[in-house]
Amino acid sequence: MERIEFKMKNLKRVVITTAIVCGIVSMSGCQKKENESKEITWAKSSEVVDNTDEHLQNMYEKYQLKKDYMLYLKAKNLEEGGTLYQIERNGKQQIQLLDDVCQFVEIGNKIFYTKPERADDLELIKELCVYDRSTKKSEKLLGLKDDLRSMISVKNNIVYYKTYDKVVAYDVDKQTKEEMDYMITSAVVETCMANGKIVIVGDGCVDMIDFDKKKVKKIVSQTECANDAVACTKDAVYYGVDSYNMNDVLQKEKIQSKNNGLWKFYLQTGNKEKIREQSPKELHVLGNKVYDETLKEVKINDLSNDSKCCSYGRHLPAVYILFTA
């Protein structure tokens, strides 16, 4: 009887010790093997070796590919943030890197990322942080007073981001800011970077900003509300518009608009053309190709298969960018 009690006590010690060790590991970046999502499998199995440049163009993307691994942000809502993982490309091992991440990009041995922070009025503002892989420590660069709403891109250690009424370039090395007044009334805004120009989409309106010249070119304007999607490749901006009005009980009612659908704006010529009648819920870029939320590649001939082709035609008159290189 005494031997049984002794063994039970030792067993309890082993269980408790194991639980403590697992807890410590989980806090310091645990390694897991979990079932992969469709998006993770699709991205990491791509023939693209490194998509950092594409990720810098499309900072809302949840994935960034490197040679031997990928970074993936597991988050239901990018405004609220999620957990950033490092995932083997030739296996399923996952290492937890950072919590409460909204946007991220790895450059060299550093990861720039934003995390949610509630202001006094409970509005979600973002903090800008940088994680050093060599020291495994994070440093806060910008806080609530900087009113960061969305990180647009990072170039030459300069972080471009949007506030409520400005676009800002923050020099990490000099700790200085350069600002440009810019206001968009949409509550939800999507941003990307195309050919050195900042693209901002909200409520069906599409603006292209030349930050150096402090100029704004309107690609699309409308007065209705809209759900939007946007993606930038090397030579084009893809944007989706799904217009609606709010009824008396604050429910969305879809409305017909000539701007509805998925469009491609050509950076070189300034022309735009409709690709689909239906706007996708999401757009993703990988290998300079664009995919919708089903991870199906978006192609120019998608509209020709639509029996409900619009009466105003597939091609619109050219719209020219006002900027010159």
Determine how many CB atoms are found less than 10 A away from the CB of residue 313: 10
Tell me the C-alpha to C-alpha distance, in Å, between residue 53 and each of 122, 153, 191, 287.
34, 10, 15, 10
Determine how many CB atoms are found less than 10 A away from the CB of residue 31: 12
d(CA 60, CA 150): 9
pLDDT reading at 123 higher than 60:
yes
pLDDT tens digits, 233-248: 999 999 999 988 888 8
Model's pTM, two decimal places? 0.81
- Of the listed ranges 65-74, 191-200, 210-219, 294-303, the least confidently predicted one is 294-303
Name the average pLDDT for the chain: 83
pLDDT band of residue 315 (cuts 50, 70, 90) is very low
Task: Name the percent of the chain lying above pLDDT 70.
Answer: 80
pLDDT reading at 303 higher than 90:
no
Q: Both tokens of residue 117?
A: 């922070």
Tell me what the mean pLDDT of segment 21-32 comes to. 47
pLDDT band of residue 306 (cuts 50, 70, 90) is low
Tell me what the mean pLDDT of segment 256-285 comes to. 93
Better-predicted residue by pLDDT, 171 or 77: 171
pLDDT reading at 55 higher than 70:
yes
What pLDDT does 13 receive? 54
Tell me what the mean pLDDT of segment 38-58 comes to. 95
What pLDDT does 32 receive? 52
Alpha-carbon radius of gyration of the chain: 23
pLDDT reading at 156 higher than 50:
yes
How many residues comprise the chain?
325
In the β-sheet with 215-220, what is the strand arrangement from edge to edge? Answer: 190-194, 197-202, 205-210, 215-220
pLDDT reading at 15 higher than 70:
no
pLDDT band of residue 10 (cuts 50, 70, 90) is low
Helix, strand, coil percent values for the chain (each to nearest 5) = 15, 45, 40
Tell me what the mean pLDDT of segment 199-205 comes to. 89
Contacts of residue 280, defined as CB under 8 A and 6 or more positions apart, other chains included, come to 229, 240, 262, 292, 293, 298
